[in-house]
C-alpha cells in the first residue's frame, strides 16, 4: 500500500471510530488543531498513564509537576524564543523546506531591508518568484513570506500592562520545570541527581501544519529533566536513552520501526543530542528528543531572573548550577505512532478486516460484552448482569448488542478491543456443563474459548496490567 493511502486510512479510521476529529470542524476546521474523541481520549490517557508510571512511579528520584501555562514574559527571552525567530520565512509547498526570503532575495541581488513590513517583503518576493527555487526539491511553489516567530501571543493582562511585554502561550512545556526547579529543591529537598517530569501543552505557530497529528499548532509534550552534578552526564545520558527506548517497546511498538538518530549540528552549549524516530508511513521522523544540555537552561534563568539557582550540596559543601539531561516527547506524535503501528488489514473468517492491534493496556475498551441475540430477554438480562459487574472492576468495558455477532467483532477489531465476551444459551445452563461460562474471543487470533464468568475480571486485569 502506498504511504499516503495508509495514512489516509488511519486518518479516516480515527475519524470514523471517534479517535480524532479535526478541530472546529463544523466551522470548516482550524488548521493544525485536532480534538481527541471518546476513543482517542482513552488511548491518549492510557499512553500518558504509561509514561507517568515509567517516569514518576517507577523511579525513586523523579517528581511530578503541572505548571501553569502562562509564564512571565522574561521566560521566553531567557529561553531564546523571543528575538530569535523573527525572520521572514516562506515554505516550499512541495517539500516543506523553509527559506529565508530576505536571504534568497539578496542572493539574486534584490535588497530587502530588515525594517520592511511583511507586505513589502512579499511584494518583492512576488516580483521575483520565478527566480527563487527551493534548494531541496527545485520547485518554485512557496507560501507567502511571514515574519516568523513560533511563539503564540496572548493578551493576558493587557488591561494592566499597557505597552508591556506580551504574555505568550508556552512554545515548549519544559520551561515550567526550570521555573519550579528551585521550589522543588526547597520543598522536597531532593538529593542529586533528581528528575522532574511533566506533561504539558505547547503552542507553535507552525507555518504549515501537516501529517495529521505529526505537526500541529497545539500539542502536548511529555518532558523529563534530570538535574545532575556538572560533568556527570555521560553515563546517565546513556542510561536515559536506553530507558526511553524500552518505554516505546513497552507500548508494543515494533522495534524495527524505531531508531535513534544523533544530531549532527549541536547548539553551542549542548554536549549531545539524539532523537528517537518512528517509521511513519511517510518515513522515519522524530517522536522524541533526548538532550544533554549542560547548565545552559538554569544559567539563563539565573541571569534573567536574578534568582540564585545554584544547588547547595551541604554534604559536600558545594554550590553549583546543575546540568540537565532532558527528554522531550510529543504526545500526539506517539499517539500517531501507536495508531500506525497497530493498524493492520488481515483476513479473518474469509473476510478482510481492519484491526488495531493495540497493546491491551493502551486499548480504549478492554472488553465488549454481547448477548448472543438481542431479542431474547433472558440472554440480555444475564449479559447486562455480567456487563454491570465487570464494569465495576474495569471501567473500560462496553456493551454492544447492535447487528449480528460478526459485525460486532469487526467494530471492536477496528477500535482495538482485545476481548469480546458473548453470553449465549449455554451460559444460562442449556448445556449444564457450560452453565455460567461465556465465550471469550481474542482480537488478534479470532480464537474463542469458554471461561467461567467468575474468572473474567481477573483474566482481563492480568491482560491489561
Ligand atoms: P521538529 O524538528 O519536528 O519541529 P523539534 O526538534 O522542534 O521538532 P522539540 O522542540 O525538540 O521538537 O520538541 C520536542 C518534541 O515535541 C518533538 O520530538 C515532537 O515530538 C514534539 N513536537 C514538536 N513540535 C511539534 C508540533 N508542531 N506538533 C506536534 N508535536 C511536536
Does residue 333 have a pLDDT over 50?
yes
DSSP symbols for 21-85: EETTGGGT--TT-EEE-HHHHHHHHHHHHHHHIIIIIT-SSEEEE---S---HHHHHHTT-SSS-
- On whether the CB atoms of residues 73 and 164 are closer than 8 A, the answer is yes
The residue whose C-alpha atom lies closest to atom 11 belonging to ligand 1 is: 289
Please provide the size of the chain in residues: 465
DSSP-derived 3-state class of residue 274? strand
d(CA 179, CA 55) in angstroms, rounded, equals 20
Enumerate the β-bridge partners of residue 346: 353
The domain made up of 365-464 has a fold known as Rossmann fold (3.40.50)
C-beta 286 within 6 A of ligand 1: yes
To 5 degrees, how large is the angle CA 250–CA 399–CA 426? 100
d(CA 317, CA 198) in angstroms, rounded, equals 30
Q: What is the pTM of this model?
A: 0.90
Query: Which residue ranges does the chain devote to CATH 3.40.50.800?
Result: 365-464
2 against 273, higher pLDDT: 273
The residue whose C-alpha atom lies closest to atom 14 belonging to ligand 1 is: 328
What count of other Cβ atoms lies within 10 Å of the Cβ of residue 324?
A: 25
What spacing in Å lies between the alpha carbon of 361 and ligand 1's midpoint?
26
Query: Which residue ranges does the chain devote to CATH 3.30.930.10?
Result: 3-75+169-339
3-75+169-339 classified as CATH 3.30.930.10? yes
Helix or strand run (H / E) with residue 413: helix 405-415
Distances (CA, A) of 310 to 49, 181, 201: 32, 10, 28
- pLDDT value of residue 83: 64
C-beta 288 within 6 A of ligand 1: yes
d(CA 120, CA 383) in angstroms, rounded, equals 70
What spacing in Å lies between the alpha carbon of 372 and ligand 1's midpoint?
47
Please confirm whether the linkage preceding 362 is cis (ω < 30° from 0): no
C-beta 330 within 6 A of ligand 1: yes
C-beta 232 within 6 A of ligand 1: no
- pLDDT value of residue 111: 80
Which of 221, 332, 334 to probe ligand 1 with, by most ligand atoms within 8 A of CB?
Answer: 221
Burial class (CB in 10 A: 0-12, 13-18, 19+), 204: buried
The residue whose C-alpha atom lies closest to atom 10 belonging to ligand 1 is: 172
d(CA 170, CA 339) in angstroms, rounded, equals 27
What spacing in Å lies between the alpha carbon of 439 and ligand 1's midpoint?
45
pLDDT in tens, 362-418: 999 999 999 999 999 999 999 999 999 999 999 999 999 999 999 999 999 999 999
What spacing in Å lies between the alpha carbon of 288 and ligand 1's midpoint?
7
Does residue 19 have a pLDDT over 50?
yes
- pLDDT value of residue 206: 84
What band does 465 get if pLDDT is binned at 50, 70 and 90?
confident
Kindly state the DSSP code that residue 396 receives in the 8-state scheme: -
Overall average pLDDT of the 3-8 stretch: 86
Atom of ligand 1 at shortest range from CA of 333: 20
Helices (H) and strands (E) in the chain, counts: 13, 23
C-beta 333 within 6 A of ligand 1: yes
Q: Which residues contact 260 (CB under 8 A, 6 or more apart)?
A: 241, 245, 274, 275, 276, 277
Overall average pLDDT of the 271-299 stretch: 97
What spacing in Å lies between the alpha carbon of 172 and ligand 1's midpoint?
9
Which of 96, 333, 336 to probe ligand 1 with, by most ligand atoms within 8 A of CB?
Answer: 333
Grid coordinates in use for 365?
Answer: 475498551
- On whether the CB atoms of residues 463 and 418 are closer than 8 A, the answer is yes
Indicate the pairing of strand 367-371 with strand 397-399. parallel
What spacing in Å lies between the alpha carbon of 333 and ligand 1's midpoint?
9
* Contacts of the segment 459-464: beta carbons below 8 A, 24+ positions apart: 460/366, 460/367, 460/390, 460/394, 460/419, 461/393, 461/394, 463/360, 463/366, 463/418, 463/419, 464/360, 464/361, 464/363, 464/366, 464/394, 464/418
What count of other Cβ atoms lies within 10 Å of the Cβ of residue 382?
A: 21
C-beta 81 within 6 A of ligand 1: no
d(CA 271, CA 241) in angstroms, rounded, equals 14
Atom of ligand 1 at shortest range from CA of 216: 28
DSSP-derived 3-state class of residue 460? helix
d(CA 115, CA 92) in angstroms, rounded, equals 24
d(CA 113, CA 106) in angstroms, rounded, equals 10
What spacing in Å lies between the alpha carbon of 330 and ligand 1's midpoint?
6
DSSP symbols for 118-176: HHHHHHHHHHHGGG---TTT----BPPPEEE--SPEE-TTTTTSTT-PPEEPPSSTTHH
What count of other Cβ atoms lies within 10 Å of the Cβ of residue 406?
A: 12
pLDDT in tens, 86-108: 578 898 988 888 888 988 998 89
- pLDDT value of residue 117: 75
Does residue 46 have a pLDDT over 90?
yes
Amino acid at each position: 500500500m502506498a504511504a499516503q493511502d495508509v495514512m489516509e486510512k488511519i486518518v479516516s479510521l480515527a475519524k470514523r471510530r471517534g479517535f480524532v476529529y479535526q478541530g472546529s470542524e463544523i466551522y470548516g476546521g482550524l488548521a493544525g488543531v485536532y480534538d481527541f474523541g471518546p476513543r482517542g481520549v482513552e488511548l491518549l490517557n492510557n499512553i500518558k498513564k504509561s509514561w507517568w508510571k515509567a517516569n514518576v512511579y517507577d523511579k525513586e528520584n523523579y517528581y511530578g509537576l503541572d505548571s501553569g501555562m502562562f509564564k512571565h514574559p522574561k521566560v521566553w527571552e531567557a529561553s531564546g524564543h523571543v528575538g530569535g525567530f523573527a525572520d521572514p520565512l516562506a515554505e516550499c509547498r512541495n517539500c516543506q523546506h523553509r527559506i529565508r526570503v530576505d536571504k534568497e532575495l539578496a542572493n539574486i541581488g534584490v535588497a530587502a531591508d530588515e525594517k520592511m513590513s511583511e507586505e513589502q517583503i512579499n511584494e518583492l518576493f512576488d516580483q521575483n518568484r520565478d527566480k527563487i527555487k527551493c534548494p531541496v526539491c527545485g520547485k518554485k511553489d512557496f507560501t507567502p513570506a511571514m515574519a516568523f516567530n513560533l511563539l503564540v501571543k496572548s493578551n493576558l493582562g493587557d488591561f494592566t500592562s499597557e505597552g508591556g511585554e506580551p504574555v505568550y502561550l508556552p512554545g515548549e512545556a519544559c520551561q515550567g520545570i526550570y521555573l519550579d526547579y528551585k521550589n522543588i529543591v526547597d520543598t522536597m529537598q531532593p538529593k542529586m541527581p533528581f528528575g522532574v517530569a511533566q506533561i504539558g501543552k505547547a503552542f507553535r505557530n507552525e507555518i504549515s501544519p501537516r501529517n495529521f497529528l505529526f505537526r500541529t499548532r497545539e500539542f502536548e509534550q511529555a518532558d523529563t529533566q534530570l538535574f545532575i552534578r556538572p560533568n556527570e552526564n555521560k553515563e546517565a545520558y546513556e542510561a536515559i536513552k536506553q530507558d526511553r527506548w524500552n518505554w516505546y517497546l513497552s507500548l508494543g511498538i515494533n522495534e524495527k520501526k524505531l531508531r535513534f538518530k544523533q544530531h549532527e549540528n549541536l547548539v553551542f552549549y549542548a554536549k549531545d543530542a539524539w532523537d528517537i524516530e518512528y517509521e511513519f508511513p511517510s518515513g522515519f521522523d522524530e517522536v522524541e528528543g533526548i538532550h544533554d544540555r549542560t547548565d545552559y537552561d538554569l544559567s539563563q534563568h539565573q541571569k534573567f531572573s536574578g534568582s540564585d539557582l545554584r544547588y547547595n550540596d551541604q554534604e559536600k559543601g558545594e554550590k553549583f548550577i546543575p546540568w540537565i539531561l532532558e527528554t522531550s516527547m510529543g504526545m500526539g506524535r506517539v499517539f500517531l505512532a501507536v495508531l500506525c503501528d497497530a493498524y493492520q488489514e488481515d483476513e479473518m473468517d474469509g473476510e478482510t478486516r481492519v484491526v488495531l492491534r493495540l497493546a491491551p493496556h493502551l486499548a480504549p475498551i478492554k472488553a465488549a460484552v454481547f448477548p448472543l441475540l438481542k431479542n431474547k430477554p433472558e440472554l440480555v438480562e444475564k449479559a447486562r448482569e455480567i456487563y454491570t459487574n465487570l464494569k465495576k472492576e474495569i471501567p473500560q468495558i462496553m456493551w454492544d448488542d447492535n447487528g449480528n455477532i460478526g459485525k460486532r467483532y469487526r467494530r471492536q477489531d477496528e477500535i482495538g478491543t482485545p476481548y469480546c465476551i458473548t453470553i449465549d444459551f449455554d451460559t444460562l445452563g442449556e448445556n449444564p456443563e457450560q452453565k455460567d461460562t461465556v465465550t471469550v474471543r481474542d482480537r488478534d487470533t479470532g480464537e474463542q474459548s469458554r471461561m467461567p464468568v467468575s474468572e473474567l475480571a481477573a483474566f482481563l486485569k492480568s491482560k491489561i496490567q
